[in-house]
Amino acid sequence: MQSFPYIITISSEKGGVGKTTLATNLAIYLKAMREDLPVTIFSFDNHFTVDRMFELKGQRLAGNVHDMLMGAQANQVVQTGQYGVGYIPSSTELGDINERFKGPMTLTRMLAESGISGIVIIDTRPDLNILTQNALYAADRVLIPVKDMPSLENCRNIFSLFEQRGIDKKSLALIPCLIDERIKFEGVFKDQKTLLRAFAANRGYRCLDTYISKSPKVESLNTNPDGKIYPILTHARGTDVHGQFAEISREILNCYDATPESRACLYYTWLSEKEGKKKESYLARLEGLAERCLICGALLSEQPEGRGFYYETSDRSARGFLHSACFTDMLCATLYGMTSDSRTFDAARLVIADKAGKSVSLLAAKDGNRPEMLDYRQFNTSGEQIFQKDIDLAGFSEGDLEGNNGKLYLLLNESLTGYEGRLRSDAWLAVHPVDPSDPDAVLHEDRYRAVQNVQRQISAAIL
């Protein structure tokens, strides 16, 4: 069975509020409290705190956060680090990725498809750039450390991002951090955390029950002769902060246990359903196709090679593929009266083939009252008309399939012919060039939408 991660994002636009301290230590506590739970952490920061905390000496690295964002399978770049926590090494090169990372759900998809299970913790930079936004949208839980009024005011942007995208704000929670217990106030709000809580509640922001105290011991864990950063769990056991982290971790684990399907899982399911629907409509499109090339009459299942054009009538009653050679030869004969015994045939044919391969052909009855004339036009890919010629259909309704127009008549016969062998005036036929190495691709969702666009433009052009 496929596994999906439960994602926790630590975010705040304010710097130095304790995001990284929270992210890294939370990872360690979660792992310590539940040994069999995979816990993975990475950071969009370039401070390398994650690396300094989790890397094992002499470890060979398979890649970093940059590689993951560029498309490397995420579980391939996860390293098993200290304390059993998995980490993705940090990168200094995320600045320019920022520019290229356009979609808001890209990270969600990457993590959903990563094969990583358990809990993933994402530490973000103190801004709301596109990477942070991606981390926010991917998250089952967002923890926002706040230490003072300015950092509390800053939360507004995160909340309004969620509002804009219509995401449930239940996943967002503030956590008072760096709380100095020595500071006491007169009056109703007797201390920092009570004050922050009250202001948060007043703005409709949810707070965790727990807060994190400011502790000189914790602060000192960053500064060591060996350049390492020590965890609170092992090096600050006696502090209040230790108990507070244990409490936060318990709450997170409760939420994790109460979430049968994480956001990544739901998004993945939604994506696959969408893909499934795309596939269904593709198969449906394949189904209504003519079995033969209308011009040479060959079964396309027997001669699939060389299909270079897709045709469709405006009412979609006739659809199918034509061989490149068949359609080009038809144009040579119909437009220029050239057949293969003409002296300049080969050279001219190349030019005609090239032009046809770059344009969409329209075939329609010329005006309602003159159905014995054909209106032939070519449009470029942006739907502008680049060529027009009237073609006399003498002999067509009598069933004369010989002569210069023989190939044209064969094509019209099974696509645009109505009563008494006359051209229908209520529909027209368009012939689109396709990639001969993969003609069926024209029926895939995106390409087919482009075909329909051109059909619409033609429809507007001939009104």
Ligand X SMILES: Nc1ncnc2c1ncn2[C@@H]1O[C@H](COP(=O)(O)OP(=O)(O)OP(=O)(O)O)[C@@H](O)[C@H]1O
| Segment lying near ligand X (by CB under 6 A), choices 113-121, 212-220, 339-347, 391-399 | 212-220
Q: With CB cut-offs between 5 and 8 Å by kind, which of Mg ion, ligand X, Zn ion, none does residue 323 bind?
A: Zn ion
Residue nearest Mg ion, CB atom distance: 20
The closest of 34, 19, 33 to 136, measured between CA atoms, is: 19
Q: Provide CB contacts within 8 A for 249, sequence distance 6+.
A: 26, 29, 30, 33
Which listed residue (53, 85, 218, 293) binds Zn ion by CB under 5 A?
293
Residues from 200 through 219 that contact Mg ion (CB under 5 A): none
Q: Cβ 39 to ligand X, closest distance in Å?
A: 18
| Interaction between residue 3 and ligand X (CB under 6 A) | no
| Interaction between residue 356 and Zn ion (CB under 5 A) | no
Contact indicator for 126, 281 with CB cutoff of 8 Å: no
| Interaction between residue 393 and Zn ion (CB under 5 A) | no
| Interaction between residue 39 and ligand X (CB under 6 A) | no
Residues across the chain:
463
Residues from 6 through 25 that contact ligand X (CB under 6 A): 15-21
| Interaction between residue 333 and ligand X (CB under 6 A) | no
Q: With CB cut-offs between 5 and 8 Å by kind, which of ligand X, Mg ion, Zn ion, none does residue 15 bind?
A: ligand X
Q: Cβ 87 to ligand X, closest distance in Å?
A: 16
| Interaction between residue 218 and ligand X (CB under 6 A) | yes
Residues from 42 through 101 that contact ligand X (CB under 6 A): 45
Q: With CB cut-offs between 5 and 8 Å by kind, which of ligand X, Mg ion, Zn ion, none does residue 366 bind?
A: none
* Token pair in block for residue 81: 């680090």
Nearer to Zn ion, 74 or 295 (CB): 295
Q: Cβ 25 to Mg ion, closest distance in Å?
A: 12
Nearer to Zn ion, 285 or 323 (CB): 323
Give CA–CA dist 333/283, Å, rounded.
35
Q: Cα–Cα distances in Å, from 334 out to 283, 338, 341, 380?
A: 34, 8, 15, 20
| Interaction between residue 231 and ligand X (CB under 6 A) | no
Nearer to Zn ion, 319 or 323 (CB): 323
Residues from 296 through 315 that contact Zn ion (CB under 5 A): 296
**Size of residue set near Zn ion by CB under 5 A:** 5
Q: With CB cut-offs between 5 and 8 Å by kind, which of ligand X, Mg ion, Zn ion, none does residue 66 bind?
A: none
Give CA–CA dist 351/345, Å, rounded.
10
| Interaction between residue 131 and ligand X (CB under 6 A) | no
Phi-psi bin for 403: left (phi > 0), alpha (psi -120 to 50), beta?
left
Q: With CB cut-offs between 5 and 8 Å by kind, which of ligand X, Zn ion, Mg ion, none does residue 296 bind?
A: Zn ion
| Interaction between residue 352 and ligand X (CB under 6 A) | no
Q: For the sheet containing 373-379, what is the strand order?
A: 319-323, 307-313, 428-433, 360-365, 373-379, 385-392
Give CA–CA dist 165/458, Å, rounded.
37
Q: With CB cut-offs between 5 and 8 Å by kind, which of ligand X, Mg ion, Zn ion, none does residue 16 bind?
A: ligand X
Give CA–CA dist 37/119, Å, rounded.
8
Residue recorded with tokens 């209520």: 426
| Segment lying near Zn ion (by CB under 5 A), choices 99-107, 110-118, 294-302, 309-317 | 294-302
Which listed residue (209, 219, 261, 315) binds ligand X by CB under 6 A?
219
> Hey, which residues does 144 pair with through a beta bridge?
174
| Segment lying near ligand X (by CB under 6 A), choices 61-69, 197-205, 216-224, 445-453 | 216-224
Which listed residue (19, 147, 193, 214) binds Mg ion by CB under 5 A?
19
| Interaction between residue 90 and Mg ion (CB under 5 A) | no
Q: With CB cut-offs between 5 and 8 Å by kind, which of Zn ion, Mg ion, ligand X, none does residue 91 bind?
A: none
Q: With CB cut-offs between 5 and 8 Å by kind, which of Zn ion, ligand X, Mg ion, none does residue 326 bind?
A: Zn ion
Which listed residue (66, 193, 197, 214) binds ligand X by CB under 6 A?
214
Nearer to ligand X, 17 or 393 (CB): 17
Residues contributing to the site for Zn ion (CB under 5 A) = 293, 295-296, 323, 326
Residues contributing to the site for Mg ion (CB under 5 A) = 19-20, 45
Residues contributing to the site for ligand X (CB under 6 A) = 15-21, 45, 126, 178, 212, 214-215, 218-219, 222, 241
